């Protein structure tokens, strides 16, 4: 509950939250407007998002320190939705994404989002960074007459075709903003470099060459200081079907980034967040935000880290951050119209550079493993096609790599007891020195759809040798899926058809539960399952055809000597016995 998150709250904590909330609010303002503009919508929509998301996620989320709002990860996705469907449908897609995220939390699926392979997340994050960075080149250079395209290559082509329209004043403003952002982050870490660069470069442009650079006002119109109106979107089944793919991508991104941000907060504060509660709060937020014109929001890693570094003591700092953005919107919004687009471009470029995960990218690339391929493919497809394709193909490649790796971990080895210590060992099996009636195999590793081929190949050899008893030692098989169970079922049925018996020893809990559910346990027979291999071998010895043991020189077991030296029956006796077995007498 909300109240429990403020247990033991003091005046000292309030002072820390006020300072942290003020700083994060100031940091959030330029970023909120910049992300909104980069997403193809008006800058105030980003402010609306910061206000609502900042307050709601802080009050109801699963992390004490999470700061939510518009983020760079959403930029290429939201821009694509706006270009294809328009702003109104973006709001509906955001609303649907909120429902999906909320349901992920309700059904406690938060932990599964964290299972997305690292190469995939690094790949699409780096790809998003490239898209954000390249998307600001035009504003940095002050280019005009560009056709906005969804494709990265087409956008690069537009920039090249319009390089002759470079505005030297825009470049100067952008360089001033970029220099201040970089220097402030290095020498004045306590001061929000983005805000400082925005203010300084705007003042330079306004005082020395007004009307020579494109501003928020000249491009989008004046930012009003009015609060947004509540409006519930008109949703139909056909509209849901049309926007569901976009909503799923937004939900996936929102869920991943919010939980990653919460994990960062945990690491910085030695705390632990509630993943499912966080998702429910993020989902509820994304259902409410579009009703007031806001764009999709998620946990913002940089702002969350800033919140913690400035002494945040409770979720109240996030609420204060939202209130600060609200006050700025109401009091100072009209003045924001004078901000040059060239002032905001370096801020987004700096954000893209920081979110690019370039060190992690290089680290995975150096491994020269299947992870490297997953990383590069995800990155390239995200940049040159789209995020959905990049993540989808990346996950598929990661799954193939995982199956290939795990399939190699299954080992099947034929074993026999060592007379010295009575332990079964592979090295005791020698060429032409084996028991013709009892075959013992040790199975190690997970037995699932990707590894059954290895066991199947070995079993074919076993069945061709027609042993009277097949003993499978499975104490080192930690997991079996239905594909593995189906293979074992076929082995047992084939053995029964050939009048052979399968014994199994050392079954672990998960395989045992699966066997009971599928009926495999009953098929084999409870009396043929053993906890210890020794007991299973004793059972196998009791089932031998002792007539076949007479004269055998394999001596695979201690009992073999006595069984082999039994007096062999006369040929006439054997002939009569075979006739009786065949029903001829």
Check: CB of residue 476 under 8 Å from CB of residue 447.
no
Q: Where in the chain is the domain with CATH 3.30.750.24?
A: 411-544
Residue (of 202, 253, 254) closest to 386 by Cα position: 253
Distance in angstroms (rounded) separating the CA atoms of residues 505 and 51: 62
Contacts of 231 (CB under 8 A, 6+ apart): 291, 292, 293
Length of the chain in terms of residues written: 585
Residue (of 119, 122, 111, 114) closest to 397 by Cα position: 119
Q: Two tokens at 167?
A: 């505005």
Check: CB of residue 440 under 8 Å from CB of residue 469.
no
- Amino acid 561: pLDDT: 74
- Amino acid 27: pLDDT: 87
Residue (of 77, 186, 129, 119) closest to 301 by Cα position: 129
Place of tokens 């599964």: 112
How many CB atoms lie under 10 A from the CB of residue 572?
Answer: 8
HSE toward the beta carbon, residue 62, CA cutoff 13 A:
28
The number of angstroms, rounded, from the C-alpha of 87 to the middle of its chain's C-alpha atoms is 29
Residues 522, 524, 526: CA angle, nearest 5 degrees = 60
Residue 411 phi, psi (nearest 5): -125, 135
Give me the helix-helix angle, 482-497 and 452-464, nearest 10°: 10
- Amino acid 433: pLDDT: 61
Distance in angstroms (rounded) separating the CA atoms of residues 366 and 380: 17
3-state secondary structure 8-69: CCCHHHHHHHHHHHHHHHHHHHHHHHHHHHHCCCCHHHHHHHHHHHHHHHHHHCCCCCCCEE
Check: CB of residue 133 under 8 Å from CB of residue 351.
no
Distance in angstroms (rounded) separating the CA atoms of residues 359 and 569: 79
- Amino acid 578: pLDDT: 45
Distance in angstroms (rounded) separating the CA atoms of residues 428 and 148: 72
Distances (CA, A) of 93 to 81, 87, 100, 525: 8, 10, 11, 55
411-544: CATH topology: Transcription Regulator spoIIAA (3.30.750)
Contacts of 418 (CB under 8 A, 6+ apart): 424, 425, 428
Instruction: Per residue of the chain (585 residues), give pLDDT as tens.
Output: 455 666 677 888 889 999 999 989 988 999 999 999 999 999 999 999 999 999 999 999 999 999 999 998 899 999 999 999 999 999 999 999 999 999 999 998 877 776 788 899 899 889 999 998 998 999 999 998 888 777 889 989 999 999 999 999 999 999 999 999 999 988 888 778 888 999 999 999 999 988 899 998 888 888 888 888 888 888 889 999 999 999 999 999 999 889 888 988 998 888 888 999 999 999 999 999 999 999 999 999 889 988 998 888 899 999 999 999 999 999 988 888 899 999 999 998 998 898 888 999 999 999 889 999 999 999 999 999 888 889 899 999 998 888 888 877 888 888 888 777 677 887 777 755 678 888 889 999 999 888 888 788 777 777 777 788 999 999 999 899 999 999 999 989 988 888 889 999 999 999 999 999 999 999 999 899 999 988 998 898 888 888 888 878 777 787 777 777 765 444 444 444 444 444 443
């Amino acid at each position: 509950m909300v109240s429990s998150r403020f247990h033991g709250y003091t005046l000292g904590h309030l002072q820390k939250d006020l300072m942290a909330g003020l700083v994060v609010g100031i940091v959030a303002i330029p970023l909120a407007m910049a992300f909104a503009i980069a997403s193809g919508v008006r800058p105030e929509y980003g402010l609306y998002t910061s206000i609502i998301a900042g307050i709601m996620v802080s009050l109801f989320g699963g992390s004490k320190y999470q700061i939510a709002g518009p983020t760079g990860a959403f930029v290429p996705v939201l821009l694509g939705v706006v270009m294809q469907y328009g702003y109104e449908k973006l709001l509906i897609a955001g609303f649907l994404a909120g429902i999906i995220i909320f349901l992920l939390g309700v059904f406690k699926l938060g932990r599964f989002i964290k299972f997305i392979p690292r190469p995939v997340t690094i790949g699409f994050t780096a790809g998003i960074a490239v898209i954000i960075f390249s998307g600001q080149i035009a504003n940095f250079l002050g280019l005009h007459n560009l056709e906005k395209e969804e494709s990265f290559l087409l956008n690069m082509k537009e920039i090249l075709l319009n390089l002759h329209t470079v505005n030297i004043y825009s470049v100067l403003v952008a360089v001033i903003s970029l220099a201040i952002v970089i220097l402030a982050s290095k020498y004045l870490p306590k001061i929000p470099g983005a805000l400082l660069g925005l203010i300084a470069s705007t003042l330079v442009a306004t005082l020395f060459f007004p009307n020579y650079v494109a501003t928020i006002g000249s491009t989008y119109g004046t930012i009003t200081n009015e609060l947004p109106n509540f409006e519930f979107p008109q949703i139909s089944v056909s509209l849901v079907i049309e926007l569901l793919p976009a909503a799923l991508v937004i939900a996936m991104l929102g869920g991943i980034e919010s939980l990653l941000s919460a994990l960062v907060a945990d690491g910085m504060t030695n705390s632990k967040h509630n993943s499912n509660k966080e998702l429910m709060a993020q989902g509820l937020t994304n259902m409410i935000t579009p009703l007031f014109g806001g764009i999709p929001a998620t946990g913002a890693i940089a702002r969350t880290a800033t919140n913690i570094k400035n002494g945040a003591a409770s979720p109240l700092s996030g609420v204060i951050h939202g209130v600060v953005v609200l006050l700025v919107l109401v009091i100072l919004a009209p003045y924001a119209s004078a901000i040059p687009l060239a002032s905001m471009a370096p801020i987004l470029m700096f954000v893209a550079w920081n979110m690019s995960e370039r060190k992690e990218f290089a680290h995975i690339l150096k491994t020269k493993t299947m992870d490297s391929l997953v990383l590069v493919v995800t990155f390239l497809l995200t940049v040159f096609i789209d995020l959905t394709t990049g993540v989808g193909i990346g996950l598929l490649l990661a799954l193939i790599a995982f199956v290939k790796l795990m399939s190699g971990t299954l080992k099947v080895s034929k074993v026999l007891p060592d007379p010295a210590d009575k332990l079964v060992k592979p090295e005791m099996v020698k060429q032409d020195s084996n028991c013709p009636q009892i075959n013992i195999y040790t199975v190690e590793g997970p037995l699932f759809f990707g590894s059954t081929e290895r066991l199947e190949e070995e079993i074919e050899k076993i069945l061709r040798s027609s042993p009277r008893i097949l003993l499978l030692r499975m104490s080192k098989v930690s997991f079996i899926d239905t594909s593995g169970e189906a293979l074992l079922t076929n082995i047992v049925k084939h053995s029964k058809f050939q009048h052979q018996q399968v014994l199994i020893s050392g079954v672990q809990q998960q395989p045992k539960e699966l066997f009971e559910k599928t009926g495999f346990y009953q098929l084999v027979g409870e009396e043929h399952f053993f906890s210890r291999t020794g007991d299973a071998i004793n059972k196998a010895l009791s089932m031998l055809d002792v007539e076949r043991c007479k004269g055998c020189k394999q001596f695979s077991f201690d009992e073999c000597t006595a069984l082999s030296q039994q007096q062999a029956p006369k040929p006439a006796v054997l002939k009569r016995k075979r006739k009786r077995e065949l029903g001829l007498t």
